[in-house]
Amino acid sequence: MKRHDFSHFLLSKPILKALELMKFQQPTEVQSKVVSRALNGEDLIVQSQTGSGKTLAFALPLTEKVDWTENKPQALILTPTRELAVQVRDEVTNIGRLKRINAVAVFGKDSYVKQKNLLKQKTHIVVGTPGRVLDHIQKGTLLVEDIKHLIIDEADQMLSMGFIEEMEAIIESLPSKRQTMVFSATYPEDIQKLCSTYMEKPAIIEIQAEGITATKIEHFKIYVDEKQKRAVLKDVLITENPESCMIFCNTQVEVDKLYRILNQSIKSLGKLHGGMAQRDRFTMIDRFRSGQCRYLVATGVAGRGIDVEKVSLVINFEVPMEAENYVHRTGRTGRAGEAGKAITFVSDAEQKDLDTIEQLIGFSIEEMPVPTEANVQKQRSKFQQKMNATVAPKVEKSAQLKQEVTKLYFNGGKKKKLRAVDFVGTISKIPGINTDDIGVISIFDQMTYVDILNGKGLLVLQAMKERPVKGKQLKVHIARK
């Protein structure tokens, strides 16, 4: 299939500019096959691996099709984990920012009141985990009567996590006339039943399973006694000496144990699992994504929400108990066509699980020998050099886009009877500013946030220090986040 650039999709100028600023140059295969059909309003079932660009494949048509003038949510995106909900929210926000599209993420173990207040704002797209989304719908804080687009992301993972009842309840609460798109790495029978029940003659798009069969990803297994796994892991990290590495365990307890052991000898190490405090989880994801943390020990579910470029090595410290999770774990490396490697440790007790995985993926994983002591000693100095080197921070895809957009904080909101129109009226009167330079406005009881577009944030900041809003002089500064 011949691939065009993004202008081929006839997207609006603000979205094309956002793509340019984020250095997206050419659509991936899943984007090429999905975007045009999604823009045409088709129901779609898309079988595609993580790392294939599927988030952008649905973010582009959604941000293009939602009507900015409408106040109620028009699109709902369901994700299996909190981390993925935030990641998708951020991607949608970045793509739609210059079009003034507002996306909100809702998920468990986060302030319900805070989310309720966010949903009171002009919200176009809602991203969330099934449990919290259903909670908001049932309590009337998430209005769904204008939902025209439903996205179910990583559907197979949501089913394996037991979200089927919540998903069905959510779908049945939505308008029957809507577009539905389902994205899933695998297509088990339960998903087929869900799609046949709730979708209208869906087209099926199957993308080659890049996370498994791409030649740029090497798959290996190491047979090792359970008691020797930790010692062998240290040796493998030395001999492989990866730039960045994710180490997967099956349980939170094992993540904690392994982290404590590795932390004694390895710098730049982090851990991630569902038992950690929400703030700690998001902080750790940011550290790993930015390159401040090079090694991350994680449960498979927690790791699903991390989209990190250039993860050079994935290690399955334990064989995944569900075969599909091997696909998702190894999909953390080799993303967007980059080279990658996946190594799975296999004990005697785990052989049956490995057999199931190899049956699913369609090939026998190549065996790798345990590193020899001589090779470990030979590579140790290089490992220590890299361990002691200063890690250069990774540049975010959205860095240039964020230079175009400045979020300003004002110390006044609903309690001072201020409305969005008051801020628009005042700011648009500044010389050199018009309404096209004003983005998303979020008004809370005591404060207001205003996005200023087109690189004009500092101009507005200086002017608003002397200009009242509706007769009230407000303090203004660049928002901290």
Greatest mean pLDDT among 8-12, 200-204, 344-348: 344-348
Greatest mean pLDDT among 128-137, 298-307, 400-409: 128-137
Q: What is the pLDDT of residue 308?
A: 78
- Find the mean pLDDT for residues 178-199: 92
Q: Residue 234: how many CB atoms within 10 A of its CB?
A: 17
Model's pTM, two decimal places? 0.82
Higher-pLDDT residue of 387 and 397 is 387
Strand order in the sheet with 103-106: 103-106, 125-128, 75-78, 149-152, 179-184, 44-47, 203-206
- Find the mean pLDDT for residues 90-115: 95
Q: What is the pLDDT of residue 392?
A: 66
> 13-27, 270-284, 327-341 — which is least confidently predicted?
327-341
- 419: pLDDT strictly greater than 70: yes
Each residue's pLDDT tens digit, 355-377:
999 998 889 999 999 999 999 99
- 460: pLDDT strictly greater than 90: yes
Cβ contacts of residue 85 below 8 Å, gap of 6+?
79, 105, 106, 107, 127, 128, 129, 305
- What are the CA-CA distances from residue 126 to residues 60, 90, 138, 168, 426 (Å)? 15, 11, 15, 17, 29
Strands 269-272 and 295-299, by their bridges, are parallel
Q: What is the pLDDT of residue 395?
A: 65
> 31-45, 102-116, 196-210, 292-306 — which is least confidently predicted?
292-306
- 213: pLDDT strictly greater than 60: no
Tell me how far apart the alpha carbons of residues 172 and 8 are, in angstroms, rounded to a whole number.
35
Whether the CB-CB separation of 368 and 376 falls below 8 Å is answered with no
Tokens read off for 40? 């045409």
Q: What is the pLDDT of residue 211?
A: 45
- 215: pLDDT strictly greater than 60: no
Each residue's pLDDT tens digit, 142-170:
999 999 999 999 998 898 889 999 999 99
Q: What is the pLDDT of residue 481?
A: 66
Complete domains list, the chain, with CATH: 6-208 (3.40.50.300), 211-388 (3.40.50.300), 405-478 (3.30.70.330)
Q: What is the pLDDT of residue 466?
A: 96
Instruction: Share the mean pLDDT of the chain.
Output: 92
Tokens read off for 116? 């309720």
- Find the mean pLDDT for residues 457-466: 97
Whether the CB-CB separation of 325 and 357 falls below 8 Å is answered with no
Cβ contacts of residue 460 below 8 Å, gap of 6+?
406, 408, 427, 430, 433, 437, 452
Amino acid of residue 156: D
Q: Residue 479: how many CB atoms within 10 A of its CB?
A: 14
> 70-74, 290-294, 392-396, 460-464 — which is least confidently predicted?
392-396
- 3: pLDDT strictly greater than 80: no
Confidence of residue 337 (pLDDT cuts 50, 70, 90): low
**Looking at the DSSP assignment, which residues form a beta bridge with residue 205?**
46
Q: What is the pLDDT of residue 35?
A: 97
- Find the mean pLDDT for residues 436-461: 95
Higher-pLDDT residue of 329 and 239 is 239
> 252-256, 273-277, 348-352, 412-416 — which is least confidently predicted?
273-277
Q: What is the pLDDT of residue 292?
A: 87
User: CA-CA-CA-CA torsion for 111, 114, 120, 124, nearest 10 degrees?
Assistant: -70
Which residue spans within 273-410 are E strands per DSSP?
295-299, 313-316, 340-346, 366-367, 406-410
Q: What is the pLDDT of residue 161?
A: 87
Q: What is the pLDDT of residue 2?
A: 56
Backbone angles phi, psi at 471, to 5 degrees: 80, 5
Higher-pLDDT residue of 473 and 338 is 473
Backbone angles phi, psi at 87, to 5 degrees: -60, -45
Each residue's pLDDT tens digit, 17-40:
999 999 898 999 999 999 999 999
Confidence of residue 302 (pLDDT cuts 50, 70, 90): low
Whether the CB-CB separation of 163 and 84 falls below 8 Å is answered with no
